[in-house]
């Protein structure tokens, strides 16, 4: 079993749709949690950190459930520019473990 598992995707949604990504992790000692975004053939870029209390950044909402070892990302009112691969990241000390990513395509 992989340490970080994500929805395989791909997700193809129309503009304006709401889409949710899920991620589970196996190491209960994990300390920090993030969502990164990666455009085709580009480097990953930090989208947002994830906290147990939940956090929101504009159209993006992230949530962490430590008891279930589950992380989510919700994107509301999808834009064409949201098309990318979304990577779930779990860290313990300096070791960042990435999921394989979920590809999102937003269509007009």
Partner 1 sequence: DAGVTQSPTHLIKTRGQQVTLRCSPKSGHDTVSWYQQALGQGPQFIFQYYEEEERQRGNFPDRFSGHQFPNYSSELNVNALLLGDSALYLCASSLGLAGGPYTDTQYFGPGTRLTVL
Residues constituting the chain: 108
Based on the shown chain and the rule CB under 8 A, indicate whether residue 94 belongs to the binding site for partner 1.
yes
* Residue 5, CA distances (Å) to 26, 41, 56 in order: 9, 22, 22
Sort 18 into a burial class: Cβ within 10 Å, 0-12 / 13-18 / 19+: exposed
Size of the site for partner 1 (CB under 8 A): 18
Based on the shown chain and the rule CB under 8 A, indicate whether residue 87 belongs to the binding site for partner 1.
yes
One symbol per residue from 57 to 76: x for binding partner 1 (CB under 8 A), - otherwise; what is it?
A: --------------------
List 37, 44, 47, 84, residue binding partner 1 (CB under 8 A): 44
């Amino acid at each position: 079993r992989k340490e970080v598992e994500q929805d395989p995707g791909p997700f193809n949604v129309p503009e304006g749709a709401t889409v949710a990504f899920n991620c589970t992790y196996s190491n209960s000692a994990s300390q920090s949690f993030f969502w990164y975004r990666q455009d085709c053939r580009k480097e990953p870029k930090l989208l947002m950190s994830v906290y147990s209390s939940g956090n929101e950044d504009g159209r993006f909402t992230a949530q962490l459930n430590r008891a279930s070892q589950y992380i989510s990302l919700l994107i509301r009112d999808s834009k064409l520019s949201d098309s990318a691969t979304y990577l779930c990241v779990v860290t313990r000390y300096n070791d960042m473990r990435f999921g394989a990513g979920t590809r999102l395509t937003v269509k007009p």
